[in-house]
Amino acid sequence: MRLFIISELFDKPEKITKFSVLPDVGLENIKRSIDKYSLIMAFPDFDAVKSSLTEETGKAFLIYIYSADERFTQMQIKKVRTTFETSLSPLFVRLEIQKFLPAVDGVYKDYSPEIAEKSKTLWESIRRFSPNQYAVSMPESRQINYIRYLLSRGMEKEDPFIEKQSKTGFFYPVAHLILNSNLEGEEAEQLEVLATRKVLAKEVQNKTSLCPHCGYYNMVIREVCPSCGSVRIKLTEFIHHYSCGYTAPAEEFVLDDRLVCPKCGEELKHIGVDYDKPAENYVCEDCRSVFSEPDVNLLCLNCRENFPPEDILSEPVYSYSLTPFGKMVGYEGKFPISLLEELSVKLGITDYNVFSFLVDKFIKISTRYPERKFCILGIHFSMSDKAVIEFPVRVRTFLKDLIEIIKENIRESDIMSVYEEKLLFILLTETPPDGGKTVHDRLKNQIETILKKNNLDREISFSSSYRCLPDSTVKTAREVLQTIIEETEDGTAV
Ligand SMILES: [Zn+2]
Ligand SMILES: [Zn+2]
Ligand SMILES: [Zn+2]
């Protein structure tokens, strides 16, 4: 296990072979463990670690950020986890950074042999994953690494962390770093995509209020004048003069140290006899309107729009957990797109346009030479979400069985294609109608059997149909394929 120490106390990358190289600030245990390590490297920054990572370094290293500086530590954690190559690497810190706690593997004041032990265990579980070779894009590779981080750390789920810097007031530290989202909080969009793909399941943990114009949470609530919207409103004491009926803010009655009615000029002496004080009211300093209840209005500090409270977007904040399907995606390192995609790869499937072109050729041949008979079989599959999410392993076994029985039933010369990822076409060359019926019925029975065997008969349904040619009513490939598509889609299959 190679030990990489990152500290602002080092000024350049250096191999540590002597105690004297170490700054005199703790790291007593490192001094003691120098002999046990083939390589202890000191780095001033993660960028230096990155440029020294080679094939030879392999996967047996750990990174220990040895710093008491909060900003430095935070920056280094971010760099390690957002760098694709090290996003799963064992990472330890000296200083606890609360918001990134789930993104590190431990907090240690000084180097401890426990760090090496933990790293060994982590590498063992990381090595169990298949190489990430199927991911088609960098975002997808990052998504797979995110799942793998949760799996290797034994984290069943990621909870939202309250963070005032975030757009929504919440963020997901591990997802934010590994998925490399721009702003804290924006990673929620990617988590939602993973939830749509059934990789993650979500559960409401909290709620947030967002600006309807820009989606930020930073808003202030203000009481304003209902007539003109001004914030210059004042809660004011009022006086009601009995004899003339005049009612106005108390300050209008004040004359030196007496109370005099500004309308009739009479002096007010006794409360309850000359005058009384009705309930307090608001006065708008801009438009002078008087009201008992001000309006409530919100001002967004991000986009500066203002709007009434009923326009606020109230959004649930979720925690996200891995589904059994998500775990399978993590271990295998790929997202299966559909049931038939798997078949396409394993069975050698012809592109649908090419297939359609070939069917046309076969129709032409059989029209000219009626003894050259052939049949086209269609099997339409539909799978419930539950099967994808909860029984991915059963679905996988079913697919293996399905591939087996298809291989048993077809010959080298038969041609297969997939239509819209759910309908499997098999062109049985040189096959008369009774032969076509035999293959169709046998496949149908065998599929029913393997569905029952894998306990998926309620989660996956299929319907099948076939046509044999030449047939005087059919002229083109389009016609015959369309007939089969329709028959298998609306369930009027044979
Ligand atoms: Zn006003
Ligand atoms: Zn008066
Ligand atoms: Zn806004």
Q: What is the pTM of this model?
A: 0.71
The Å distance, Cα 309 to ligand 1 centre, comes to 19
Which residues is 275 bridged to in the sheet?
241, 271
Mean pLDDT across 328-334 = 86
> What burial letters (b/e) apply to 205-242, b meaning 16+ CB within 10 Å?
eeebebbeeebbbbbeeeebbeeeeeeebeeeebbebe
**Helix intervals (H) in 235-323:** none
The Å distance, Cα 197 to ligand 3 centre, comes to 30
Closest CA to 409 of 462, 355, 447: 447
Report whether 494 contacts 467 (CB < 8 A): no
- % of the chain residues with pLDDT over 90: 62
Closest CA to 241 of 215, 225, 259: 259
Q: In angstroms, rounded to a whole number, what is the distance separating the alpha carbons of residues 320 and 157?
A: 5
Q: Is the pLDDT of residue 344 over 80?
A: no
Mean pLDDT across 244-265 = 92
CATH code of the domain in which 390 resides = 3.30.70.270
| Pair 286, 347 in one domain | no
Give the end of a domain, one of 127, 161, 179.
Answer: 127
Q: Under DSSP, is residue 231 helix (H, G, I), strand (E, B) or coil? A: coil
The Å distance, Cα 97 to ligand 2 centre, comes to 68
In this structure, which ligand is nearest to the CA of 229? 1
The Å distance, Cα 299 to ligand 3 centre, comes to 8
| Pair 373, 482 in one domain | yes
The Å distance, Cα 209 to ligand 3 centre, comes to 11
CATH code of the domain in which 29 resides = 3.40.50
Q: Is the pLDDT of residue 374 over 90?
A: yes
| Pair 267, 401 in one domain | no
| Pair 356, 277 in one domain | no
In this structure, which ligand is nearest to the CA of 233? 1
Tokens of 438: 């035999």
The Å distance, Cα 99 to ligand 3 centre, comes to 25
The Å distance, Cα 449 to ligand 2 centre, comes to 98
The Å distance, Cα 280 to ligand 1 centre, comes to 17
Tokens of 394: 């059963």
**Helix intervals (H) in 22-137:** 28-33, 46-52, 70-82, 113-127
| Pair 470, 346 in one domain | yes
The packing angle between helices 187-196 and 138-152, to 10°, is 80
Tens-digit pLDDT profile for residues 84-93:
889 999 999 9
Q: Is the pLDDT of residue 321 over 80?
A: yes
| Pair 361, 481 in one domain | yes
In a 10 Å sphere around its CB, with 0-12 CB exposed, 13-18 middle and 19+ buried, how is residue 305 labelled? middle
Tens-digit pLDDT profile for residues 261-287:
999 999 999 999 999 998 889 999 999
In this structure, which ligand is nearest to the CA of 209? 3
Q: In angstroms, rounded to a whole number, what is the distance separating the alpha carbons of residues 224 and 100?
A: 41
**Number of C-alpha atoms within 13 angstroms, CB side, residue 207?**
5
| Pair 348, 418 in one domain | yes
The Cβ of residue 256 has, within 10 Å, a number of other Cβ atoms equal to 6
CB under 8 Å to 402, separation ≥6 — which residues? 343, 447, 450
Q: Is the pLDDT of residue 133 over 60?
A: no
The Å distance, Cα 258 to ligand 1 centre, comes to 30
Number of domains in the chain: 3
Query: Which residue has 């670690």 as its token pair?
Result: 49
| Pair 121, 6 in one domain | yes
Q: Which residue has the higher pLDDT, 299 or 476?
A: 299
In this structure, which ligand is nearest to the CA of 260? 2
The Å distance, Cα 77 to ligand 1 centre, comes to 52
Domain that holds residue 251: 231-294
Q: Under DSSP, is residue 101 helix (H, G, I), strand (E, B) or coil? A: helix
| Pair 349, 443 in one domain | yes
Compute φ and ψ for 259, nearest 5 degrees: -110, 120
The Å distance, Cα 240 to ligand 2 centre, comes to 8
Asked whether residue 270 is domain-assigned, the answer is: yes
| Residues flanking ion ligand 3, Cβ below 5 Å | 211, 213-214, 300, 302-303
Give residue 47's identity as a one-letter amino acid code: D
The Cβ of residue 385 has, within 10 Å, a number of other Cβ atoms equal to 10
The Å distance, Cα 375 to ligand 2 centre, comes to 105
Q: Which residue has the higher pLDDT, 105 or 460?
A: 105
Ranges 115-129, 142-156, 157-171, 477-491: which has the least confidence: 477-491
Q: Is the pLDDT of residue 494 over 50?
A: no
Asked whether residue 324 is domain-assigned, the answer is: no
Tens-digit pLDDT profile for residues 425-471:
999 999 999 999 999 999 999 999 999 999 999 989 999 999 998 88
Report whether 94 contacts 65 (CB < 8 A): yes
The Å distance, Cα 229 to ligand 1 centre, comes to 6
| Pair 121, 250 in one domain | no
The Å distance, Cα 234 to ligand 1 centre, comes to 11
The Å distance, Cα 243 to ligand 2 centre, comes to 6
The Å distance, Cα 227 to ligand 1 centre, comes to 5
The Å distance, Cα 217 to ligand 3 centre, comes to 8
Asked whether residue 197 is domain-assigned, the answer is: no
> What burial letters (b/e) apply to 267-285, b meaning 16+ CB within 10 Å?
ebeeeeebbeeeeebbbbe
